[in-house]
Amino acid sequence: MALDTLTNSLIDGAAAQTVSGITTGYTEFDRHLYHGGWGRKELSCLLCNDGFGKSLALGDMAKNAVQAGFNVLYVALEVAKEIVARLIDNMPDETVSDASECGILKVVDFPLNELTAGALDAALVGCQMAGTEFDLIVVDCPEFMASEGGATYRGLKRLAQKWNAAVLLTVSPNRDGAKSLTMRVTDIGCNWSNVNLFDVLLSLNATEAEEQAGEARLYWALSRNTSAETFSLRFKQDRDKLQFFTDFIGKEY
Instruction: Tell me what pLDDT residue 94 has.
Output: 59
Secondary structure class of 82 (helix, strand, coil): helix
One digit per residue, pLDDT tens: the chain, 253 residues?
343 433 343 333 344 445 799 999 999 999 999 999 999 999 999 999 988 889 999 999 999 999 999 999 999 999 999 999 999 999 987 555 567 789 999 999 999 999 999 999 999 999 999 999 999 999 999 999 997 777 999 999 999 999 999 999 999 999 999 999 999 999 999 888 899 999 999 999 999 999 999 999 999 999 998 877 899 999 999 999 999 999 999 999 9
In sequence order, the 6+-apart residues with CB closer than 8 A to the CB of 211 are none
Kind and range of the H or E run holding 39:
none
Backbone torsions φ then ψ of 129, nearest 5 degrees? -65, -30
Instruction: Tell me what pLDDT residue 227 has.
Output: 78
CA 204 – CA 54 distance, rounded (Å): 8
Domain 19-252, architecture per CATH: 3-Layer(aba) Sandwich (3.40)
Instruction: Tell me what pLDDT residue 144 has.
Output: 94
Strand 215-223 and strand 200-205: pairing?
A: antiparallel
Instruction: Tell me what pLDDT residue 51 has.
Output: 84
Instruction: Tell me what pLDDT residue 10 has.
Output: 35
Domain extent listing, the chain: 19-252
